Amino acid sequence: MVKSRPHRVPKPSAMDALIAEFAARYPFNLDDFQVEAIRELANRRSVLVAAPTGTGKTVVAEFAVFLALREGLRAFYTAPIKALSNQKFRDFREQYGPGLVGVMTGDIVENPAGQVG
């Protein structure tokens, strides 16, 4: 007679749960380089992500904003061109609400006291 043992599925770590919560916001799976960089950020390490345009570097920066807001901190997102700043302003307002997000460019200043600027 074979004795059965209860099958134990390991619980995901708190970091895995945090990454899964963040990743659920996107309609695509995160790439390995994104997960690797996000893990480093979650461990309070600095990262530098160098990749071609359109490969998902912004997702890593968005995780830093997500993490800061979860901890009640303020985050600043910078972009090299106004069009990208304005796009991320709209995206962050949609994600976090207009009261938390501000923007400052050479042309406009809106909600400079927001937690995400």
Instruction: Please give, one letter per residue, the 3-state secondary structure of 57-113.
Output: HHHHHHHHHHHHHHCCCCECCCCCCHHHHHHHHHHHHHHHCCCCECEECCCCEECCC
Quick one: pLDDT band at residue 117, thresholds 50, 70, 90? Answer: low
The answer to whether the CB of 68 falls within 8 A of the CB of 77 is: no
Sign for the pseudo-dihedral over CA of 89, 94, 95, 96: positive
Strand pairing partners for 109?
Answer: 104
Q: What are 53-91's pLDDT values in tens digits?
A: 999 999 999 999 999 999 999 888 888 888 888 899 999
Is the per-residue pLDDT at 4 higher than 80? no
Task: Report domain extents, the chain.
Answer: 13-73, 74-117
| pLDDT for the residue 30 | 96
Nearest of 79, 80, 70, 78 to residue 100 by alpha carbon: 70
User: What tens digit of pLDDT does each residue of 12-56 get?
Assistant: 688 899 999 999 999 999 999 999 999 999 999 999 999 999 999
Q: What is the pTM of this model?
A: 0.78
